[in-house]
Amino acid sequence: MRLRSILLLALACGTALGARTTPSTDPAFVQKEGLNLNSFVRKGPVAAHIVLRSGSDPRLIVAFPAGNSGVGLWFDHVQGAPQWTMPSPATPVTVMDAKGRSLHGVSFMAAIATPRLTPKQAVLSSVRVLRDYQALGTAPAELLTSVTVRGDTLTWARDRLDGAPGYRLSVRIVRGRWDGHRIVAGADGRVMLAITAVSGETPLTPVPIAGLLTPQANADPGARRALEFLSYREKFLAGSWRFNTYFGRDTLMSVRLLMPVLQPAAVETGLSSVLERLSDKGQVAHEEDIGEFAILDHMKADGSKSDAPTYNYNMIDGDFMLAPVARAWLVDDPRGRARAAAFLAQRHGKERAGDALMRNLRHVLRRARPFADDPTPTNLISLNPGMDAGQWRDSNDGLGGGRFPYDVNAIFVPAALDAAAAMDRAGLLAPYMTPDDRATFARLSSVEAVWRSRAPGLFAISIPADRARAAISAYAAKVGVPAAAATAAIGQEGLRFNAIALDAQGAPVPIENSDEGFALLFDHPDDAALTTAATVIGDPFPAGLMTGAGMLVANPAFAPDPLAAKFGPNAYHGTVIWSWHQALAAAGLERQLARSDISPAVRTKLKMTQQCLWRAIAATRQVQSSELWSWRYDGGRYEVAAFGASGRDVDESNAAQLWSTVYLALKRPAPDGRIACPAN
């Protein structure tokens, strides 16, 4: 009976567009997160992510990695909080448009219990356009199209702006009726729709999971399916539904954290995708605009309708991540070391990979020189002019108004300089160096020494014990969480942490933060720095970052009230949990515990933090592949809350995020029942 229903569904959805269906034997990848019901399909030329948003403002979106394209339909406000369901799995389809061109996508059934459903706006274009419409409620007029109604079927369709194959969304009313303005529910109070969503953008080349992971990878079905959906021969995608294309920072960090269990070709796909998109100056591209969004870029810039990709170089952290990640593969990993010379000699267009890498290293050294010559705060690496963001906390308030990020300046610049020296010592850079490069590299060690000795201290914050306890108690009362465990964690020496950034005048922005994980993974901190990192990560919130819902990425308990208000549990980079930052901290702690040159007391502290962090990771396993989540404190405990489910949340979380799959490379240490984590 179930098989017959699925076949009837495929025929019902396909008939509306004359579709030919491609039955999939792959298991359905379905995930419920907050208000969103997510379904992922990848088969042959089809890769699609269906997002059905329940609640009082229902919505359906189908996002395609092909061209970072998508179709979406927003409905008017409804009473109550009706829930979408999908009675059966989605089916891959290929249809022909009116000009005989192939469009690839999915057909599926969706049902919702509401008396009426009124279409408000359909948007068919780039996912970037859909993201803007979701956030702002507007879209360029030239991209909007009116509905065509034929009997019980509503269709929105349009070519791409340049006349290339475009997008189509067909909604057939299976249960209910169209009254000329809205869909009226059937006698049982439910609306059921047969939906077909397709895109004409060129499909990417999928990589199966066997081509991505080694046998040493963890057997985590959810993370494996998410990673597979986001992995293609051309590039890795940052996350779905909102970031279905290349992001430089996301690619680099994901490759680095997954590296122990990635197949060599997968590592090199990631590195190559970054090198191919470097600017002429050697900057790492943050994001690419492709498909119709690239056309919009060109129309604004020169009036053409070119679809040549355009690249965003607004972020600064990726510029200094590339060298440490490249070093981890080309020098430190035996598999990569054996392939390094051949990899760097490969041509990407008109240049070799080594030429591109050398261009980035020149950029790193050029940017590092001013502080090395005059180590004052304002000579650190700043956000780009006019930008409020420039590293992974890339929301407007993510750095609390800071201009000189802690992670970039205290961690990544020294790590990049060290990586450049290591690759030079290994003989990898010689074929790509000029005489000027050799002269510059001759003073590399002195430049690095200044950065290591002078930059980190500029971010150090120390708060006396009494003042720290008073701030914790006041903040805990304000946000409705307990303070006892947090105040008890403050010893007589007080509280130390590193500011999230320095402001334009060089003053520290007093937000406790999780960027210590970068230092643990990429640096060689001394005992004092290790103690600070372990304390910040492991101490209970609001003394540190640890809660029963996971490790927060920010803690504003010691900031002035107006600043603290910008870092709540509804802020994208506020008191929320990002999955990959828990993984980053876990990988970093494992790396530091492998050292033989740390004191017994510090080793004990690191082990305790590691055990408590992994307990938090285990407690949030059900949302591990998500981008981020929030929390609520109820009934004496912290509980996970889906980010985006609350009307107060500034955005929503992706259900599949590339750097949230990195747990595939992490091994939990054996639980130690003798270690008691502070109650929180």
pLDDT at residue 559 tops 80: yes
Q: What is the mean pLDDT of residues 296-325?
A: 97
What does the pLDDT read at residue 500? Answer: 98
Rounded CA gap, 165 and 45, in Å? Answer: 15
Give the pLDDT confidence of 448-463 residue by residue, as tens digits: 999 999 999 999 999 9
Give the pLDDT confidence of 211-239 residue by residue, as tens digits: 999 999 999 999 999 999 999 999 999 99
pLDDT band for position 3 (50/70/90)?
very low
Rounded CA gap, 166 and 144, in Å? Answer: 12
What does the pLDDT read at residue 624? Answer: 87
pLDDT band for position 674 (50/70/90)?
confident
Q: Measured between alpha carbons, how far apart are the two ends of the chain, in Å?
A: 50
Place of tokens 């090395």: 372
pLDDT band for position 649 (50/70/90)?
low
Closest by CA to 159, choosing from 131, 127, 125, is 125
Count of CB atoms within 10 A of residue 509's CB?
23
pLDDT at residue 4 tops 90: no
Helix (H) or strand (E) holding 197: strand 191-199
pLDDT band for position 242 (50/70/90)?
very high
pLDDT band for position 654 (50/70/90)?
confident
Give the pLDDT confidence of 484-514 residue by residue, as tens digits: 999 999 999 999 999 999 999 999 999 999 9
What does the pLDDT read at residue 286? Answer: 97
Cα–Cα distance list, 200 to 51, 132, 160 (Å): 20, 21, 8
What does the pLDDT read at residue 298? Answer: 98
What is the CB-side half-sphere exposure of residue 4 using CA atoms within 13 A? 1
Q: What is the mean pLDDT of residues 475-479?
A: 97
Residues with Cβ < 8 Å from 305, sequence gap 6 or more?
161, 162, 295, 298, 299
Q: What is the mean pLDDT of residues 322-334?
A: 98
Residue 173 contacts residue 153 (beta carbons within 8 Å):
yes
Number of residues assigned to the chain: 680
What does the pLDDT read at residue 33? Answer: 85
Phi-psi map region of 222: left, alpha, beta (phi>0 left; psi -120 to 50 alpha): alpha
The per-residue pLDDT of the chain, averaged, comes to 93
Helix (H) or strand (E) holding 130: helix 127-136
What does the pLDDT read at residue 626? Answer: 86
Long-range Cβ contacts of 446-454 (<8 Å, 24+ apart): 446/372, 447/365, 447/368, 447/369, 447/372, 447/417, 448/414, 448/417, 448/418, 448/421, 450/371, 450/372, 450/375, 451/368, 451/371, 451/372, 451/409, 451/413, 451/414, 451/417, 452/414, 454/371, 454/375
Rounded CA gap, 122 and 212, in Å? Answer: 36
pLDDT at residue 294 tops 80: yes
Residue 257 contacts residue 278 (beta carbons within 8 Å):
no
Rounded CA gap, 208 and 423, in Å? Answer: 32
pLDDT band for position 650 (50/70/90)?
low
Task: Tell me the three state secondary structure of residue 479.
Answer: helix
Q: What is the mean pLDDT of residues 252-269?
A: 98
Tell me the percentage of the chain whose pLDDT exceeds 90: 90
List alpha helices for 404-555, DSSP H.
Answer: 406, 413-425, 435-441, 444-454, 465-479, 484-488, 516-522, 527-538
Beginning with the edge strand found earlier in the chain, give each strand of the sheet holding 183-184 in spatial order.
Answer: 116-117, 183-184, 177-178
Rounded CA gap, 115 and 77, in Å? Answer: 12
pLDDT band for position 311 (50/70/90)?
very high
Rounded CA gap, 503 and 511, in Å? Answer: 12
Residue 653 contacts residue 626 (beta carbons within 8 Å):
yes
Rounded CA gap, 497 and 528, in Å? Answer: 11
Which of the pair, 645 or 273, is modelled with greater confidence? Answer: 273
pLDDT at residue 563 tops 80: yes
What does the pLDDT read at residue 31? Answer: 83
Task: Report the DSSP beta bridge partners of residue 312.
Answer: 287
Q: Is the peptide bond before 241 cis (omega within 30 degrees of 0)?
A: yes
Give the pLDDT confidence of 5-63 residue by residue, as tens digits: 333 333 333 333 333 333 333 445 788 888 999 999 999 999 999 999 999 999 999 99
Long-range Cβ contacts of 639-644 (<8 Å, 24+ apart): 639/548, 639/549, 640/549, 640/550, 641/34, 641/549, 641/569, 642/33, 642/34, 642/35, 642/36, 643/34, 643/576, 644/34, 644/35, 644/36
Rounded CA gap, 329 and 411, in Å? Answer: 19
What does the pLDDT read at residue 678? Answer: 72
pLDDT at residue 203 tops 90: yes
Task: Tell me the three state secondary structure of residue 597.
Answer: coil
Rounded CA gap, 137 and 149, in Å? Answer: 24
What does the pLDDT read at residue 11? Answer: 31
What does the pLDDT read at residue 246? Answer: 97
Place of tokens 């500029």: 458
Domain boundaries, the chain: 2-199, 246-454, 457-665
Identity of the residue numbered 121: Q
Q: What is the mean pLDDT of residues 393-410?
A: 97
Give the pLDDT confidence of 612-628 residue by residue, as tens digits: 999 999 999 888 888 99
